[in-house]
Structure 1
Amino acid sequence: MYLHPQHGEWIEALVALGVDAVWGTTWGDMANEWIAPRIGLTTDLPVLDVGVHVSTRFGWTSKATAVLDYVGRDRPLAWLDEIFGGKEFGWAEDRSDLGVPTVVEQIDGSAGLAPATRTRVERWAEQVTGRN
């Protein structure tokens, strides 16, 4: 994945809005030790261990079980990742329709976070936190 030195600044701005940012990765604590400094992230984030050998469901990313368990039924979610199985997008729409703000954004690993993606997630964060 393309690591941009300003992505950390953007994540920290979301945290300042009141968003809980979490790594969902097989990197474990190495995400804070190795990735964070390269993207300019100065704050350690909690790590959601998605495991290397997790159960998968047809049409879902292998991270789905850990992420869905973490957010439960009513916790808002902005999920940004390179790889999805395909069902995550409809699930996000269904949750949003039920009043649980949910956005799933697929990131192009060779380009990193696009400005349009950042804008959509910022709008989501403002909706969820009531801040701007």
Structure 2
Amino acid sequence: MTGPGLPLLFLDVDGPLIPFGAPPPGGYPAYPGPGTGPSGNPLVARVDPALGPRLLALRCQLVWATTWLADANDCLAPRLGLPRLPYVDWPDAEEPGGGTGTDAQLHWKTRTLVAWAAGRRFAWVDDELTRADRRWVAAHSPAAALLHLVDHQVGLTVADFATIEAWLRTA
């Protein structure tokens, strides 16, 4: 679902969609499909195509918030059954850590995402969020925001979707 009045959902790829790190017993599940052939990225096989319909069912506008940039549309959108999505084009000179003092622990994406939202309500799904990001967004975003931390070893789960859906209903 898309539309200018809907909240944004900034979606990271590595972690939320592609689990990584110490694999679970038996290894990560692999899902055959587009982009998993010999010339594709081997990690793409970890993307569960069932996540696509779940994401599309959310009452929000999906936006890639990943270093994959436009490649997310080429490699992941077809696999998930998603249309081409807008993506955040990160500034070249983003400062690591986001600043000094209490801002030193900011994720490098935080300021850019608040600016990209331009006053719209948004949820941000990532595996690297901290309290510093939550504090900074609360102080600098004029609209409501959900910063939802996903376990990078598991990726998006039913519980994650329940949290996001509940927030979207109240947003």
* TM-score greater than 0.5 by the shorter chain: yes
Match of 1:47 among 73, 87, 92: 87
Give 1:89's aligned residue: 134
* Residue 66 of structure 1 pairs with residue 106 of structure 2: no
* Residue 79 of structure 1 pairs with residue 120 of structure 2: no
CA RMSD, aligned part only?
Answer: 2.3
Which whole-Å CA distance do the structure 1 matches of 2:148 and 2:68 have between them? 20
Instruction: Please tell me the residue identity of whatever aligns with 2:134.
Output: F
Deviation at residue 77 of structure 1 after TM alignment: 1.1
**Partners of 1:26 and 1:51 within 8 A in 2:** no
Unaligned 5+ segments in structure 2 are: 1-17, 20-46
Corresponding pairs, count: 121
Unaligned 5+ segments in structure 1 are: none
Which whole-Å CA distance do the structure 2 matches of 1:51 and 1:20 have between them? 22
Which whole-Å CA distance do the structure 1 matches of 2:137 and 2:106 have between them? 12
In structure 2, the CA distance between the partners of 1:88 and 1:37, relative to structure 1 (3 Å rule), is same
The 5-angstrom pairing of residues 1-132 of structure 1 reads: 1-2=18-19, 3-14=47-58, 17=59, 19-38=60-79, 40-51=80-91, 53-55=93-95, 56-57=98-99, 58-72=104-118, 74-92=119-137, 100-128=143-171
Deviations 1:66-119 (A, max 9, x none): 1011123x32111001112431223455679x8x33211111122111222111
TM-score of the aligned structures, taking structure 1 as reference length: 0.77
| Greater gyration radius | 2
In structure 2, the CA distance between the partners of 1:42 and 1:71, relative to structure 1 (3 Å rule), is closer
Identity of aligned residues (%): 25
Q: Which has the higher contact order (CA 8 A, sep 6+)?
A: 2
In structure 2, the CA distance between the partners of 1:41 and 1:90, relative to structure 1 (3 Å rule), is farther
Q: Which has the higher helix share?
A: 1
Which whole-Å CA distance do the structure 1 matches of 2:89 and 2:127 have between them? 17
Which whole-Å CA distance do the structure 1 matches of 2:151 and 2:134 have between them? 16
TM-score of the aligned structures, taking structure 2 as reference length: 0.61
